A and B are shown apart, each in its own frame.
Chain A
Amino acid sequence: MKFTDNIEELKEISRRMRIDILKMLHESGSGHSGSSLSCIDILVAIYFSKMDHSPDRKREDLRDKFVLSKGHGAPALYAVLAECGYFGKENLLTLRKLKSKLSGHPYSCSTPGVEVTTGSLGQGLSQSNGLAMAGRLNGEDANVYCLLGDGEVQEGQVWEAAMSAAHCKLDSVIAIVDHNQLQIDGAVENIKNIEPLSDKWAAFGWYVQDIDGHDFRQILDAIDAAKAEKERPSLINAHTIKGKGVSFMEGVVKWHGTAPGAEELEKALEELSAPAGGGK
């Protein structure tokens, strides 16, 4: 794999990752399309530009770490990990199948590159804090990235962990909210409003930035600013679109946890067929 700061290259990787995500979801017949597509640009920015990592490094080696707290975005993580070389791409089509390396939600014991186990919402930030505390005890200069869902922040444990990270001044923790405004049962604001989200994190003692979560320039700059921040953890409130990149999935709640059928896949792949360019 190669790292890049080139926006066009990152867009092109994202386009290919979207194709991998849709193909694996179609093959599995279940899984979270909309939630994977809304966070893939963030994952690509982290894994192909900002994170210090390599599939060749062992568990105990110094490296940055990533925790997918919104574990249902697993297809996006698996696509990226395969592209980075953590495991062969042929595994992608085994998603969610019996005895597959790729469980429905990220499992550290079965999937190379998956740092900790997530999927039951609200549990990833505490684990990220623990990883950061272990790194600090070892005198390591490494970041821990943690991707949360916006529906997920309705879990109380997220706020327990938010308090802990600020109290312990875990400035190596960079949490990102994939703020796509939809959860399983509908719009987040109708189910249980989480706003004002950025103000809440700021009130908890975090350095907060609001960005467009599909604009690579903004994602990269926000991560740089978060890395430079000392004495407090960082929260990037990334405003995204559920199902981003596939017109008929964008902003449609039913695509939160649905896989595309054959016709839908064909239509989606057609939309994604042209190499990335133009737009944001």
Chain B
Amino acid sequence: MTVEKLSLREYYGKTLVQLGGENKDIVVLDADLSSSTKTSLFGKEFPDRFFNMGVSEQDLMGTAAGLAAGGKIPFVSTFSIFASGRAWEQIRQSICYPQQNVKIVTTHGGITVGPDGPTHQALEDISLMRSIPSMKVIVPSDAHETVAAIKAVLDFNGPVFIRLSREKFPVIFDETKTFKLGNADVLKKGADLTIIACGLMVHTALEAAGELEKEGISIGVINMSSIKPLDRSAILAAARETGAIVTAEEHSIIGGLGSAVTELTSENIPVPVVRVGVRDVFCSSGTAEELLACYNLDKNAIITAAHRALELKKQRRV
């Protein structure tokens, strides 16, 4: 059976055009990657409100901050590593500290950037953004959730970081999907263990859950697209009800979703949490599929992690 896949960035670009028609305060900035991030769609429709800042990410973020200070609502896009890494300090000082209403929507997050290699893969972006006070961090799991998130953050006044990808993602939700900051989707209830995932790994988590169910293990799956603020009650309920958690993200195991979940559970309901993610290495060039398998971001990795978490859960009881 083939799975329907849709491009998050295509849907982002189309949504920007729609919103741009409705709200004249929306401006869009890019740093010479608009044909990849799809902000070019907005630029074609609203050239006066589109600013291609060239290959200058620091200036990109600073200019967006100034536009926000002048009453505009800037959506800023480039590849995730260049936004979160190259311009981290501009995001902290010029955008987050003064609470400027800037929406940073990056594409090419994670490892599935693929053949461009480690220089262009973003495996620290969630961690870097999550550590800045007041920043909201969202990692949508499919194209329809992307649209819902983009629309939702327009109603929120303040800095937001949304991470999209180069690859098309399997479709999980339909057009009626809604998004609310701090709200997770419990996609499946389980009794023995809960997988908490974001982005591309939500679909992989559902696949892994299916396999584990065949072994007679009851698995819950949560889509934690709102990484900051986290849906605390959904995570703590999962910890209380299933007593074991696996996190899965296309990101380093340091500082991302796995860290966020572990921080919350360890201070409240300390259950075993086993993290699936890139294990503190620079990766390689390759196709998205090859990379996901090579760096243990596939279904089998989640199944192995689930067994490990269940073993730890059993040991705690002894």
Contacts and interface: CB of A to CB of B under 8 A. Distances in A.
A117 B62 contact: no
A109 B59 contact: no
B21 interface: no
Nearest to A140: B70
A133 interface: yes
Interface stretch (A158-166, A203-211, A215-223, A234-242): A158-166
Interface in B77-110: 89-90, 93-94, 97-99
A122 B61 CA distance: 12
A126 B72 contact: no
A130 B98 contact: no
A119 to B, nearest CB: 7
A29 interface: no
Contacts of A163: 54, 56, 59
A160 B59 contact: yes
A127 B99 contact: no
Interface string A107-136: 111000001111110110111111111110
Interface majority SS (helix, strand, loop, mixed), chain B: helix
A117 B67 CA distance: 13
A116 B89 contact: no
Contacts of A108: 69, 98
A119 B48 CA distance: 31
Contacts of A167: 54
Interface residues of A, number: 34
Nearest to A156: B58
Name the interface size band of chain B: 20 to 34
A131 B69 contact: yes
Given A157-B58, A163-B54, A163-B56, A133 B63 contact: yes
B97 A127 contact: no
B69 A109 contact: no
Contacts, number: 109
Contact of A130 (B62, B93, B99): B62
Contacts of B97: 107, 109, 117
A156 B58 CA distance: 9
A60 interface: yes
B71 A130 contact: no
Given A109-B98, A133-B67, A134-B67, A123 B56 contact: no
Greatest chain A CB density within 10 A among B54, B64, B66, B69 is at B66
Contacts of B19: none
Considering residues B61, B67, B74, which has the most beta carbons from chain A within 10 angstroms of its beta carbon?
B67
Contacts of A109: 97-99
B205 to A, nearest CB: 40
Contacts of A228: none
Given A107-B98, A134-B71, A116 B66 contact: yes
A126 B65 contact: yes
A99 to B, nearest CB: 16
Interface string B38-51: 00000000001101
Given A130-B62, A134-B72, A120 B67 contact: no
A160 to B, nearest CB: 4
A98 interface: no
B132 interface: no
A274 interface: no
B309 interface: no
By DSSP majority rule, is chain A's interface helix, strand, loop, or mixed?
Answer: helix
Contacts of A168: 51
B68 interface: yes
Contacts of B53: 160, 164
B292 interface: no
B27 interface: yes
A130 B70 contact: yes
A137 interface: yes
Nearest to A129: B63
A52 to B, nearest CB: 16
Contact of A135 (B27, B62, B65, B70): B70
Nearest to A155: B58
A137 B48 contact: yes
A116 B64 CA distance: 12
Given A130-B67, A164-B56, A123 B99 contact: no
Nearest to A119: B93
A125 B89 CA distance: 15
Given A109-B98, A163-B56, A116 B72 contact: no
A135 to B, nearest CB: 6
A77 B191 CA distance: 61
Nearest 8 A/B pairs, CB to CB: A130-B66, A134-B70, A126-B62, A160-B59, A127-B66, A160-B56, A117-B98, A130-B67
25 contacts: A59-B71, A107-B98, A109-B97, A109-B98, A109-B99, A116-B69, A118-B93, A120-B89, A120-B93, A123-B90, A123-B93, A125-B62, A127-B62, A127-B63, A127-B94, A129-B59, A130-B70, A131-B70, A134-B70, A135-B70, A157-B59, A157-B62, A161-B62, A163-B54, A164-B63
Given A133-B70, A168-B51, 13 more contacts: A59-B71, A125-B62, A126-B90, A127-B65, A127-B69, A130-B67, A133-B63, A133-B66, A134-B67, A134-B72, A157-B56, A160-B58, A167-B54
Interface of B: 27, 48-49, 51, 53-54, 56, 58-59, 61-72, 74, 89-90, 93-94, 97-99
